[in-house]
């Protein structure tokens, strides 16, 4: 058997089209993450895969097994697709053991429950009822319950959203480890880019009912296809450049490209905040900037800078630095490879270059997340 494949999937709520042709492939045993803002259709995608919502067209298959081809569907109970909803949806009338053992044949139930209690670290709580558990414990039970049925595919719909930050990080790591140990293919849906980056083998960024780009976390972070994906995965400095075969010529000097460009021309390149270097002295390719905001975040400092000479640059540049920077101004240079990004399809024609990069789309602004999640 081999993982999940979704091709040209369309689905609607009434007349409202939610999925407009989704293509997604998840390798067997991989942890995938569907990342997107609220309302992009990612929960509907999960519900179609789980068998709770009908597809209008397209194809969903698990290995060689078709699940839904837009006309006929395999009922949810025959799919072997596990599902962990956002609030856990534990069966309130059953104990922890009853919940975990729900999908397990009676003969194997006892052993399986014990095994999973140990796996999710809830030994000794088997006789509690859901209302006697904390939020994190409830989520672990929900996960154990889904795993106990030995699904071929596990779907997790923002399972950590209701938890506090510390618990979220911890539980996420545990669950990722558990899933890898069990060798289960899993799809996690989230709007939290940090969650996606730390959890997944592969990330699919979803936008307006389509997958905008799918790839490894590293690739998506460093080499996003367009400006929206770039911003969605973290803060980005989008800088105008003249692109040649192997170089981007910017006001910060010539920079190597992440990959050879197919065509020469003018465009935007992305530099992540940690690619910006600050120094007290002017240097080659460095520009002068004033520091407008400076925040300590524990492991690093985040600085917002306003270039003294606009020169086509965004009004605000963002830099992360490991060492404290106490001056109110700096010379800013760049290091590492620049990545050319296009405007997302269907977006307005190129924005004026001076628009602040980090705040271009407030609804999905990653700033508070980044602060919050670190």
Partner 1 sequence: MTGLPNPAGPSPLGRWRGAGLLAPAALAIAAAVASPLVLIGVQAGEAGWEQARRLLGRPLVGDLLWNTVTLALAVTLATAVLGFGAACLVERTDLPGRRWWTTALALPLAVPEFVRGYSWVSLTSSVRGYWGAVLVMTCSLYPLVFLPVAATLRRADTAAEEVSRSLGRGPLATLCRVTLPLARPALAGGALLVSLYLLGEYGAFAMLRYTTFATAIFTEYKLGFDAASAAQLTLVLVALALLLVVLEAGTGRRGRTVRRATAGRGAAPARLGRWTPLALAALGSLTATALGVPVYALGYWLVRGSSTTLPQASVITAVLTTLGYSAAAALVATAAAVPVALYAWRRGTRLARAAEGAAYLTRALPGIAIALSVIHFVIRYAQPLYQQPPMLVAGYVVLYFPLALTAVRAALAQVPPGVEEVARSLGTRPAAVLARITLPLVLPGLGTAAAMVALTAGTELTATLLLRPTGTETLATRFWTYTSGLAYGAAAPYAALMVALSVPPVLLLTRRTLGADPRTETTR
**Candidate residues 12, 20, 57, 74; the one interacting with partner 1 per rule CB under 8 A:** 74
**Do the beta carbons of residue 263 and residue 342 sit within 8 Å?**
no
Please report how many Cα atoms fall inside a 13 Å half-sphere around the Cα of residue 367, on the Cβ side: 17
Q: Between residues 54 and 312, which has the closer beta carbon with respect to partner 1?
A: 54
Q: Between residues 47 and 301, which has the closer beta carbon with respect to partner 1?
A: 47
Tokens of residue 149, six digits: 């049925």
Please state, as a whole number, how many other Cβ atoms lie within 10 Å of the Cβ of residue 279: 12
DSSP 328: S
List the beta bridge partners of residue 256: 247
**Candidate residues 73, 140, 277, 339; the one interacting with partner 1 per rule CB under 8 A:** 73
Nearest-approach distance from CB 82 to partner 1, in angstroms: 6
Is 131 among the residues that bind partner 1 (CB under 8 A)? yes
Which residues in the 254-293 window bind partner 1 by CB under 8 A?
A: none
**Candidate residues 36, 41, 58, 151; the one interacting with partner 1 per rule CB under 8 A:** 151
- What's the rounded Cα separation, in Å, for the pair 249 and 334? 12
Nearest-approach distance from CB 168 to partner 1, in angstroms: 19
Give exposure, 303-316, as e/b (b: 16+ Cβ within 10 Å).
Answer: bbbbbeeeeebbbb
Site string (53-72) toward partner 1, x via CB under 8 A:
-x---------xxxxxx-xx
- What's the rounded Cα separation, in Å, for the pair 277 and 63? 47
Site string (31-50) toward partner 1, x via CB under 8 A:
----------------x--x
Q: Between residues 139 and 193, which has the closer beta carbon with respect to partner 1?
A: 139
Is 102 among the residues that bind partner 1 (CB under 8 A)? yes
Nearest-approach distance from CB 66 to partner 1, in angstroms: 6
- What's the rounded Cα separation, in Å, for the pair 178 and 111? 18
Q: Between residues 79 and 210, which has the closer beta carbon with respect to partner 1?
A: 79
- What is the helix (H) or strand (E) element at residue 254, kind and residue range? strand 253-256
Residue 83 neighbours by CB under 8 Å, 6+ apart: 46, 50, 52, 146, 154, 155, 157
Is 76 among the residues that bind partner 1 (CB under 8 A)? yes
Q: Between residues 88 and 358, which has the closer beta carbon with respect to partner 1?
A: 88
**Farthest CA pair distance, the chain:** 74
Is 160 among the residues that bind partner 1 (CB under 8 A)? no
Nearest-approach distance from CB 302 to partner 1, in angstroms: 34
**Candidate residues 93, 106, 181, 299; the one interacting with partner 1 per rule CB under 8 A:** 93
Nearest-approach distance from CB 154 to partner 1, in angstroms: 10
**Candidate residues 3, 41, 58, 103; the one interacting with partner 1 per rule CB under 8 A:** 103
- What is the helix (H) or strand (E) element at residue 189, kind and residue range? strand 185-190
Backbone torsions φ then ψ of 312, nearest 5 degrees: 80, -5
Which residues in the 178-237 window bind partner 1 by CB under 8 A?
A: none
Residue ranges of E strands in 280-323: 287-296, 301-307, 317-321
**Candidate residues 38, 118, 121, 132; the one interacting with partner 1 per rule CB under 8 A:** 132
- What's the rounded Cα separation, in Å, for the pair 172 and 235? 22
Q: Give residues in contact with partner 1 (CB under 8 A).
A: 1, 47, 50-52, 54, 64-69, 71-85, 87, 89-93, 102-103, 131-132, 142, 145-146, 149, 151-152, 155
């Amino acid at each position: 058997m081999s993982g999940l494949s979704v091709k040209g999937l369309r689905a609607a709520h009434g007349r409202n089209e939610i999925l407009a042709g989704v293509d997604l492939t998840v390798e067997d045993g991989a942890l995938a993450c569907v990342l997107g803002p609220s309302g992009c259709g990612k929960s509907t995608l999960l519900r179609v895969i789980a068998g709770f919502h009908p597809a209008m067209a397209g194809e969903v298959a698990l290995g060689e097994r078709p699940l839904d081809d837009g006309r006929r569907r395999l009922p949810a109970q025959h799919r072997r697709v596990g599902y962990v909803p956002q609030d856990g949806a534990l069966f309130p009338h059953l104990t922890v053991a009853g919940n975990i053992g729900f999908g397990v044949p009676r003969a194997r139930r006892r052993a399986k429950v014990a095994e999973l209690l140990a796996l999710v670290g809830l030994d000794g709580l088997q006789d509690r009822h859901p209302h006697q558990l904390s939020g994190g414990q409830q989520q672990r039970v929900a996960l154990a319950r889904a795993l106990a049925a030995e699904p071929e595919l596990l779907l997790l719909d923002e399972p950590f959203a209701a938890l506090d930050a510390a618990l979220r990080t911890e539980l996420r790591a545990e669950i990722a480890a558990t899933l890898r140990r069990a060798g289960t293919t899993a799809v996690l849906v989230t709007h939290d880019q940090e969650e996606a980056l730390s959890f997944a083998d592969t990330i699919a960024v979803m936008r307006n009912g389509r997958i905008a780009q799918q790839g490894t976390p590293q690739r998506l972070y460093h080499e996003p296809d367009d400006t929206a994906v770039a911003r969605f995965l973290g803060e980005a400095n989008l800088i105008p450049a003249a692109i040649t075969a192997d170089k981007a010529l910017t006001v910060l000097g010539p920079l190597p490209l992440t990959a050879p460009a197919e065509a020469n021309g003018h465009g935007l390149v992305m530099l992540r905040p940690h690619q910006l270097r600050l120094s007290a002295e002017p240097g080659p390719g460095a520009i002068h900037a004033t520091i407008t905001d400076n925040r300590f975040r524990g492991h690093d400092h985040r600085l917002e800078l306003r270039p003294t000479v606009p020169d086509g640059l965004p009004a605000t540049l963002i830099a992360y630095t490991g060492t404290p920077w106490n001056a109110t101004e700096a010379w800013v240079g760049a290091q590492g490879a620049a990545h050319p990004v296009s405007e997302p399809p269907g977006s307005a024609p190129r924005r004026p270059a001076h628009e602040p990069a980090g705040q271009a789309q407030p609804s999905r602004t990653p700033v508070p997340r980044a602060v919050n999640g670190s």
